[in-house]
Structure 1
Amino acid sequence: MPALDLSLLRDVYAVCRYPAGSPAKAPSPGSFSLLVQAAEETTLVCPIEEAPPGSEIDAGWRCFRIGQSFDFSVPGILASVLAPLAQAGIGIFATSTFSTDYVLVKAGDARKAVAALEEAGHRVGRQT
């Protein structure tokens, strides 16, 4: 697996949970966010300042974005990021879009995560 270019996004995020079927408003455009409505629950990931009251909130996440886009048939892209984090004892919340992957770690683990990813050969930049 080639080295990946990752960006540590500047915002601090919250992972929010609602009961299944609950309406959830997507956050403002311009920053990374995620809204998943599944049979068992609705999950929203958004900048911490947009975390909606009334949801269960797990705050204090930082987000890494994989800079490259790969064809869906290329195996191991996300695993090449998750394995070094797991070896470093860092818990994650991962998600994907059509074009790339995002991996969130608790803010207190961000520096340790950067070190683990760089030690694995990846390049990590910071978004300003």
Structure 2
Amino acid sequence: MPHSINLRIVPGLYGVARLATGASVPDWFNGPGFSALVRSDDELTLICLQDRVPGDIEAEPNWRCLRSLGPIPFNATGILQALIQPISENGIGVFVLCTFDGEHILVPDRDWDRAERLLEEAGHVFVS
């Protein structure tokens, strides 16, 4: 498991929205900032800046995001565990999205300061 991972705060507050299985990607999803789309057999999950998510859409608001900075080899092990363990062991829920180049960890805004402190105490470094 890596000792120290460089992290960057991804600006903004994010919403995690759920749409029906066969839903098309709505226009409101497109725009600036981090976003992600995951389609499964039983739902379409969209993550984007929460001010773009309409009020009539089922969504969990008020998530903040950080991401690992590489390069980290694609086959490296223990990266996700090293990031999640200090947070989840202290009762903070996370929502995780992995991309080709890094891990994105979403943490409830109400727990953000504590999560950031826990990650630093675990040896991870926040960079600009």
Name the TM-score, length of structure 1 as normaliser: 0.91
8 Å CA contact 2:74–2:101 kept in 1: the answer is no
Q: Which runs of 5+ in 1 are unaligned?
A: none
2:30 to 19, 27, 32: 27
Q: Which residue of 2 aligns with 1:100?
A: 102
Q: Which residue of 1 aligns with 2:115?
A: 113
TM-aligned CA deviation for residue 56 of structure 1:
0.5
Look up the equivalent residue of 1:44 and give its one-letter code. L
- CA-based RMSD of the aligned residues comes to 1.3
Specify whether residues 35 and 52 from structure 1 end up closer, same or farther in structure 2 by C-alpha distance, changes over 3 A only: farther
8 Å CA contact 2:87–2:93 kept in 1: the answer is yes
Specify whether residues 52 and 69 from structure 1 end up closer, same or farther in structure 2 by C-alpha distance, changes over 3 A only: farther
Q: Which residue of 2 aligns with 1:12?
A: 13
Structure 2 Cα separation of the partners of residues 68 and 88 of structure 1: 26
Name the TM-score, length of structure 2 as normaliser: 0.91
Structure 2 Cα separation of the partners of residues 54 and 97 of structure 1: 29
Q: Which residue of 2 aligns with 1:87?
A: 89
- The runs of at least 4 consecutive aligned structure 1 residues that moved more than 6 Å come to none
CA deviations 1:16-47 (Å, max 9, x no partner) are 0011111123421x411001111110000000
Q: Which runs of 5+ in 2 are unaligned?
A: none
TM-aligned CA deviation for residue 69 of structure 1:
2.8
TM-aligned CA deviation for residue 120 of structure 1:
0.2
Query: Equivalent residue of 1:11, what SS?
Result: strand
CA deviations 1:91-115 (Å, max 9, x no partner) are 0000011111100000011000000
